[in-house]
Structure 1
Amino acid sequence: MAYLMGIDNGGTFVKAGIVDENGNILAVAKEPVHNLTPQAGFTERDMDELWSQNAKVIRGAIAKAGIDPKEIRGVSFSGHGKGLYMVDAQGRPSYRGILSTDTRAWEYVKQWSQDGTKEKVFAKTFQDILACQPVALLAWIRDHDSEALQRTRWVFSINDYIRFCLTGVAGGEYTALSGGNLVNMTTFQYDKELMALFGLQEVYDKLPPLCYSAQICGGVTEAAAAQTGLAVGTPCAAGMFDVDACGLAVGVDNPEALCMIAGTWSINEFITRAPITNGTVSLNSMYCIPGYFLIEESSPTSAGNMEWFINNLLSYERAECKAKGGSIYDLTNRWVEETDPASLKVIFLPFLNGSNESAQARGTFIGLTDFNTKAHMLRAVYEGIVFSHMTHVKRLLKNRPAPKAIRLAGGAANSKVWVQIFADALQIPIETVACEEQGILGAAIAAGVGTGVFESYEAAADQAVAVRETVYPRPEMKEIYEEKYARYRATIDALANVWDVFQ
């Protein structure tokens, strides 16, 4: 039996898993990550601590699986997109790691939108510019900590950094870097003129050699083997942006499929043979399957908002659930199920970490009265997150027919009541898959393709992906959610001129 390892670095956890040659996940080890918020708009990580946590979960997964590390044919990676991880010539961090929920560079995005840079960039990358993308963050560091940028030898995505720690080989994986406005989508190479548009000419030589998701980029070093328990020389494939990994792990291997990922970010995607450049979608990037482009509509407006609500408004309830041996999610799902959607007028804008409307937009409850309870507010959070996904999906569907069903991944897929809200609001069947660790599976598939364990991405997905449940829309809910979505959109429109007051 051949084994593979997938390593997944997300917004809240770092995970490693062992996957067999049939696509079954045999063991998973995970650790919560410690994110730093030194000031509003900043979301950072200690990169040494991040590597230590990766090493720990790698050791843990091997131990849980009870296998000989030499039986692991290959390792690969899934990680959050955007963000920034930089090292110096000695391979040491030259700045703290920056996550995809960081918004410090919003003023740069606003300026580029006003001075014509946005249009010039789109002509090369087929992407809008986001505050959390490496180009915006690099511009901020250039102006606020130029010494850190001067010390930097390599500019990495999170996958590139962890792979570098394992192999000592610098590489830049296509799906993540093309999703960060760093790659010319016509030439599929870095572009000096593109970097100059951002005022980042000096960064061009700090960009690592580009590599494809299943490309073997080096083997595990002796030092990394001692830290992780992996065998020396174990091949490491480049890996992929987590939206690719999750898409692959739910069966996005053909243009018919459409996927939503409801995690920290609201990710909504499908794949095509050619990019969509008519301005109706905001992000085109290279997909992990060669020859396909990932058409993506996304924003940090998904289930991370619910975690904030739980952490800040349900701490007592969470402690009580834990004391009774239960889960806070059982309680939240019950509260939402018991709240009548037709009578609830409260609207929540899920913009705590950024938005898909305005760079300055903030999280908002509107319509509260003294009648409303935490349960009402919670249902508004569930619905607001669905409506944000819905905004993205409507944009995607301007360029393709509606699918027969939408595959849903991420934390929301584990809540039956939430999945039903998605189905009712979109009036499209929603499918969830049996595998709950899509990032690990997608990464392991890349390792398998790169080492010959799997013949192709498509063959691996066909073998590993199974639909767990299909949730059908209720026709009687169509009008209710159309009215609620209209109220959600009206709230956003009414607040459009207010956001600057909060800066």
Structure 2
Amino acid sequence: MAIGGLDIGSTGCKVTVYDDTGKYVYRAYRDYPILRSTGEHEVQAEAIWQGVCEVLQDAAVHAPELTALGVTSFGESCVLLDEQDRPIRPIMLYTDPRGSGACRELTEKLGRERIEQIAGVAPHSMYSLPKVMWVKKHCPEEYEKTRRVLMMEDFVIYMLTGNAVIDYSLAARSMGFDIQSLEWSQEIFQAAEVDSSLFSRPVPGGTCAGQIKPEMAKLLGLSPELLLVPTGHDQVAAAIGSGVFRADRAVDGAGTVECITPVFEGIPDDRRIYDGGYAIVPYVIPGSYVTYAFSFTGGALVSWFIRHLAKAEKGLAKEQGRTVYEVLEEGMKDEPTGILVLPHFAGAATPYMDEGARGAVVGLTIEHSTSDLYRAMMEGVVYEMMLNMEHLKAAGICPKKLRATGGGASSGVWMQMKADMLNLPIVSLGNAEAGAAGCAMMAGVASGLFRDLREAAEALITEKHTYLPRPEMHEAYQKHYERYRRLYDAVRPLV
């Protein structure tokens, strides 16, 4: 018996397989192109489906005993299918600006606060419902042909099983899901003049969606008894795969995007949480929710620095058979650099949600080195997370411990820096693919391999190292953070 996780991203998909003891067996990945033009950011549904089929065919060869598969995906974007289950048009990604007018119209009808109260999100054009409204208004013939509106998790599950179900956390990325009744909000859909029956049936994450269709099992070489399990939005899957099940815990997804996902009980009644762009998302633990505090440039900022400003260090690392990170960290001072980096190189996420924001580097002197600037890039990412944690704390969300996953979690320097700056213990995990692990854990529970998620966590999650905050370092960073808090307001009028 084997269990697996299928993670569908906006630029590629991957499947990871584990045996019945939780040991890693195999991983396959395929990418697909994003189509960008002025005012349009799209991906072809056919390309995503082809990528999914290819990774599943690979998995079938290397793990023919695969019996349960959890599925997670990026949020917001949806595919429109006709009565023959064929995609009608390309998928508009969350970064696609179309839908902004529809979002304004819906907000004018219902009011911003009413949408927030029902859907748990501040109105924004990135969500599914404004995009569907845009299609209905500007491409009415396409809307008339539409028989199903599916996000990526339920699209793949529907194609594999014939059952259209979506978990609560992904449904919450539509701007039309009632996070209290856990159903599609008829009030919002009626105001949007969109038929809610086009969308999949909402179910709790971890619900078995059914067995794979015989013809799909034959085509892909998979077991005809394979069970498909909706796991949730990708950040929720990462929280599950990090073993974050308590209301005072959070996962730090240290990937291309930096995202801290805390778990909390009950829905906060403080409106400031929506003012900061934070969503309230139903979690797999009944009565619990998560939110996303994120920066568009986490690991992406470090990668940009190495690609453009550390060419000499890259060459030296190649000569010496080391990594460029080792070269840059060699001799690095274990103290604040004094340089402030505003990490808005791809716009600002929470708490600003300002796509027009731009990055800045402040405080350079002729004495600073490449290594100093490298450290400052990492500091800038964490300062932004300090700002987010301050906003969340004001709304009553106060994680006491972080679990770190993703590529950035492999850097001991960065992890210690985060522990010092955030003043929280941080545990790095042995498995960088927390999303895949979360999917496999949910699949294991749904198939009966594990009794519950805690037992699944014992099998699949290993703790690598615990980084404890150092009071003297936190105090030193706090002084620079007071300067950082003023940086966005100082830079924004200039860009």
**Residues 347/193 of structure 1: CA separation in 2 closer, same or farther (3 Å cut):** same
Q: Residues 26-175 of structure 1: matches in 2 within 5 Å?
A: 26-39=25-38, 42-64=40-62, 67=63, 69=64, 71-105=65-99, 117-175=111-169
Deviates more, 1:234-243 or 1:486-495: 486-495
Q: Which amino acid aligns with 2:328?
A: W
* Paired position in structure 1 for 2:15: 16
Aligned equivalents of 1:428, 1:80: Cα separation in 2:
28
Report which stretch shifted further, 304-313 or 242-251. 304-313
- 1:438-449 correspondence runs (5 A): 438-449=434-445
TM-score (normalizing by structure 2) = 0.87
Aligned to 1:293: 288
Cα distance in 2 for residues equivalent to 1:145 and 1:337: 57
Indicate how the Cα distance of structure 1 residues 370 and 19 shifts in structure 2: closer, same or farther if over 3 A, else same. same
Q: How far did 1:469 drift?
A: 0.6
> What's 1:396 paired with?
392
Q: Does 1:242 align with 2:241?
A: no
Aligned partner of residue 255 in structure 1, secondary structure: coil
Partners of 1:377 and 1:143 in 2: CA distance: 49
Q: CA deviation at 1:361?
A: 3.1
SS in 2 for 1:253: coil
- Superimposed CA distance per residue, residues 64-114 of structure 1 (whole angstroms, 9 cap, x where no aligned partner): 4xx4x2x32211212222222332222122222344444554566677778
Partner of 1:212: 204
Q: Secondary structure at the match of 2:81?
A: strand
* TM-score, structure 1 normalization: 0.86
CA contact 1:344–1:376 (8 Å) conserved in 2: no
Cα gap change, 1:241/1:319 in structure 2, threshold over 3 Å: closer, same or farther? same
Q: Tell me what 2:328 maps to.
A: 335
1:177 aligns with 2:163: no
Q: Residue by residue, what CA displacement relative to the aligned partner does 1:263-301 show, whole Å, maximum 9, x if unpaired?
A: 344432333342223224332121123x13323033452
Q: Deviations over 1:359-390 (max 9, x none)?
A: 34323124276847765554443222222222
Rounded to whole Å, the distance in 2 between the matches of 1:464 and 1:160 is 25
User: Is the CA contact 1:267–1:298 (under 8 Å) kept in the aligned structure 2?
Assistant: yes
Opposite residue 112 of structure 2, the aligned amino acid is K
Distance 1:10 1:361, change over 3 A: same
CA distance in 2, matches of 1:325, 1:170: 54
Q: Deviations over 1:182-234 (max 9, x none)?
A: 2112221112211244xx22242311222222222232224432443212242
- How far off is 1:125 after superposition? 1.9
Report 1:366-405 matches (<5 A).
366-367=361-362, 371=366, 377-400=373-396, 402-405=398-401
Structure 2: 5+ residue runs without aligned partners?
A: none
Match of 1:275 in 2: 267
Q: Decide whether the 8 Å contact of 1:21 with 1:454 is kept in 2.
A: no
Distance (whole Å) between structure 1 residues aligned to residue 247 and residue 384 of structure 2: 23
Given that residues 9 and 80 in structure 1 are in contact (C-alpha distance below 8 angstroms), is that contact kept between their aligned partners in structure 2?
yes
Question: Judging changes above 3 Å, is the alpha-carbon distance between structure 1 residues 307 and 228 closer, same or farther for their aligned structure 2 residues?
Answer: farther
Q: Does 1:256 align with 2:248?
A: yes
Tell me the secondary structure at the aligned position of residue 68 of structure 2. Answer: strand
| 1:34–1:334 Cα change, 3 Å | farther
Q: What's the secondary structure of 1:37's corresponding residue?
A: strand
**Farther-moved stretch of structure 1 (429-438 vs 134-143):** 134-143
Name the SS for the 1:225 alignment partner: helix
Q: Deviations over 1:241-260 (max 9, x none)?
A: 11121111111122232222
Structure 2 match to 1:493: 489
Task: Judge conservation of contact 1:109–1:136 (CA < 8 Å) in 2.
Answer: yes
Structure 1 residues 30 and 286, CA gap change in structure 2 (3 angstroms):
same
| CA deviation vs aligned residue, 1:400-443 (integer Å, no higher than 9, x gap) | 57544211222221222221221121011111112221111111
In the alignment, the residues of structure 2 paired with residue 135 and residue 56 of structure 1 have an alpha-carbon distance, to the nearest angstrom, of: 30
Given that 2:121 and 2:280 are in contact with CA atoms closer than 8 Å, whether structure 1 keeps it comes out as yes
Contact 1:213–1:239 under 8 Å retained in 2: yes
Aligned length: 488
Distance 2:475 2:297 in 1: 23
SS of the aligned residue for 2:69 comes to strand
Return the match for 1:450 from 446, 465, 472: 446
Give the secondary structure class of the aligned counterpart of 2:3: strand
Q: Is the 8 A contact 2:67 2:223 kept in 1?
A: no
Cα distance in structure 1, aligned partners of 2:316 and 2:84:
48
In 2, the alpha carbon distance for the partners of 1:325 and 1:60 equals: 36
RMSD, aligned CA: 3.2
- In 2, Cα distance between equivalents of 1:310 and 1:268: 22
Contact 2:310-2:370 within 8 A present in 1 as well:
no
Match of 1:355 in 2: 349
Q: Does the 8 Å contact 1:11/1:264 carry over to 2?
A: no
Deviates more, 1:24-33 or 1:94-103: 94-103
**SS class of match (2:27):** strand
Secondary structure of the residue aligned to 1:216 is: coil
For residues 434-466 of structure 1, the C-alpha deviation after alignment (integer angstroms, 9 at most, x for no partner) is 222111111111112222112122322244322
The residue type equivalent to 1:216 in the other structure is C
